[in-house]
Amino acid sequence: MAATRTDLANAIRALAMDAVQKANSGHPGAPMGMAEIGLALWGGKMRFNPQNTAWANRDRFVLSNGHGSMLQYALLHLTGFDVSMDDIKNFRQFHSKTPGHPEVHYTPGVETTTGPLGQGITNAVGFALAEKLLAAQFNKPGLDIVDHHTYVFMGDGCLMEGISHEACSLAGTLGLGKLVAFWDDNGISIDGHVEGWFTDDTPKRFESYGWHVIAGVDGHDVDALNAAIDAAKAETNKPTLICCKTIIGKGSPNKAASHDCHGAPLGDAEIAATREAIGWPYAPFEIPADVYAGWDRKAAGAAFEAEWNTLFAKYAAQFPTEAAEFTRRMKGDLPANWNDIVAAAVSDANSKAETIATRKASQNALSALCPSVPEMLGGSADLTGSNLTNWKGSTSLKVENGQISGNHISYGVREFGMSAIMNGIVLHGGFRPFGGTFLMFCEYALNALRMAALMKTNNIFVYTHDSIGLGEDGPTHQPIEQLQTLRCIPNMNTWRPCDTVESVVAWAAAIGERTTPSSLVFTRQNLQFQARTEQQLADIAKGGYVLVDAANPQLLILATGSEVDLAVKAAAQLQAEGVAVRVVSMPSTNVFDKQDAAYKASVLPAGVPRLAVEAATSDFWRKYVGLEGDVIGMDTFGESAPANLLFKHFGFSVENVVARAKALLK
């Protein structure tokens, strides 16, 4: 006899409470309360193939309330993904496929790493935006090779985080009609009943964003949920919020509807009582065959993909160039002649020898590189004219009559939202997003940058106005400690180029990355072009190299960005006074640190005194100069004044560098 819907939903409840209990940690309440929502969506409405998690046209699913991870793991296991019962039993254990919060690349079927609340729904906006743009670029009449939905589960915590406002507001403006979010309205968070701290009228809030809102859905009624999903899919010009009233921990006789089941195991006695209450007589981690059969989506998933493969074959026959380009972009491959493109761009920048701001050099680099990489998708958080993330071939994103076009996004004043949306875009596939703001305002977005590095995405964060060099805006806008913060994020490459050539190399390196995000940091003010040999041009990509050398150097001066020319001028004065000085430009300390020991020793030989110069916190440079070296840096906040006065006031002058160098040599 076929399993009932109740049995299918209770399988989720049982797996959730058993896995959390075995791990002695976790969150059983949300999975137990959202079991019927999971059944309605994963049991029939969502299109995916458990046997091919990379199928290009699969629906994307995001568990924004990532603490409820056992809900997703149970769904993956039951529907046929490569998540075994042993994986379920190893929930939250070392090197398991089922970590405490869902992690992309670890668990088959997990699209993004969630946990920090609000970022999942924001990633989902990126997924949905990528789908809409990719469809606009590649679909042909009768051949919609890009046609899928993005589904999100989220709770009150996601809605309380400010980033959800940033992302959902923009999603409404952009008319992301294939984005469907389920709000688990259970009224509980860690501290208890939320009415003491969360009384927003959520349906009206989302209506004001321009969303299609389906309110008052019983989150335990599968028929009602199915009807809501159908209504959501019928609305193609607005994202949809389905408001699902649920009972957290449903089935637990004594802990349901309470924060007691939010973030702690139910306990053996309560689990036994729950089994009896829901009519689940099976042993821990036991799922009967009829329940497995009722959940199995392997055959349906294979049929979905086979249907699409037939469609794509027709598409490729009629549009072979577009089909090849779609395949390349979804794989994340660069054009075959990429190295030649980069070499030409570097050569052009070197021959022009321009003295310009590196933010302008960045724009020039984009104009040189982007025409060959049409998947580049730019943007800025309301600072396009300052960040210069627009380039000669960019067009502003716009939506007219439901149709979307453009390759440069005006994100509005939404630095955190922009960064997490970019994470979703790149995880979807088909695009390489980059987005800009002032370096000071990376502070708003740091957790999204950390998530990018953790997820091994290769998106590109652009930061301009990189120091006290922005001048009169004063200390609120002058970054001091931000460079050190970015450099200290594991798996993040931070570049601070000193001129036009280093800017091109930085962009080429960032675009060439496969599993590492990059932060590119540029100046507002003009920087002097630096002449280089062919070997020096080649060595820029190593993150640090000898820019000015002398036989048997008595002193090494290390610098980045706007301070490189200062170091070069100071070295020239010292050389004139008989002091042999080597200047090392280090545009990316992260990349330099990855070089082999021999190369690093050739650039920074032991036993030679070292002086580092950078208009940022000084402590970072101790790893290179040692306690016996010296650093000219910023250990206070800035001031409001013209940049030239500020640099002199804080010791960034040829005279001070020379004086500190002489003092170090004594």
Binding residues for Mg(2+): 156, 186, 188
Q: Is the CA virtual torsion 334, 451, 200, 30 positive or negative?
A: positive
Half-sphere exposure of 247 (CA within 13 A, CB side): 12
Enumerate residues 6+ apart whose C-beta is below 8 A from 263. Answer: 26, 27, 29, 67, 190
Contact at 8 Å (CB) between 15 and 300? Answer: no
SS3 391: coil
Dist CA 41 CA 229 (whole Å): 8
Enumerate residues 6+ apart whose C-beta is below 8 A from 580. Answer: 550, 551, 552, 553, 554, 555
Torsion of CA 575, 579, 585, 589, to 10 degrees: -170
Tell me the two tokens of residue 537: 């041009």
Is 415 annotated in the active site? yes
Helix (H) or strand (E) holding 569: helix 563-576
Provide the annotated binding site: 27, 67, 115-117, 156-157, 186, 188, 262, 359, 386, 441, 465, 473, 477, 524
Helix (H) or strand (E) holding 613: strand 610-613
Taking Cα atoms as reference points, which of 327, 386, 368 lies closest to residue 511? 368
Contact at 8 Å (CB) between 230 and 189? Answer: no
- Order of strands, sheet of 432-438, starting from the edge strand that comes earlier in the sequence: 408-410, 376-380, 432-438, 460-464, 518-521, 493-495
Provide the annotated binding site for substrate: 27, 262, 359, 386, 465, 473, 477, 524
Dist CA 129 CA 177 (whole Å): 10
Tell me the two tokens of residue 298: 């392997």
Contact at 8 Å (CB) between 408 and 370? Answer: no
Dist CA 409 CA 397 (whole Å): 5
Taking Cα atoms as reference points, which of 658, 342, 643 lies closest to residue 473? 643
Contact at 8 Å (CB) between 483 and 521? Answer: yes
* DSSP E strand boundaries for 67-154: 150-154
Contact at 8 Å (CB) between 621 and 570? Answer: no
Q: Pick the catalytic residue from 415, 502, 563, 614.
A: 415
Taking Cα atoms as reference points, which of 491, 494, 368, 389 lies closest to residue 434? 389
Taking Cα atoms as reference points, which of 311, 314, 388 lies closest to residue 357? 388
CA 90 to chain centroid: 28
| Residue in the block written with tokens 């290009």 | 56
Taking Cα atoms as reference points, which of 100, 96, 94 lies closest to residue 113? 100
Provide the annotated binding site for thiamine diphosphate: 67, 115-117, 157, 186, 262, 441
Dist CA 155 CA 436 (whole Å): 30
User: Which residues are catalytically annotated?
Assistant: 415
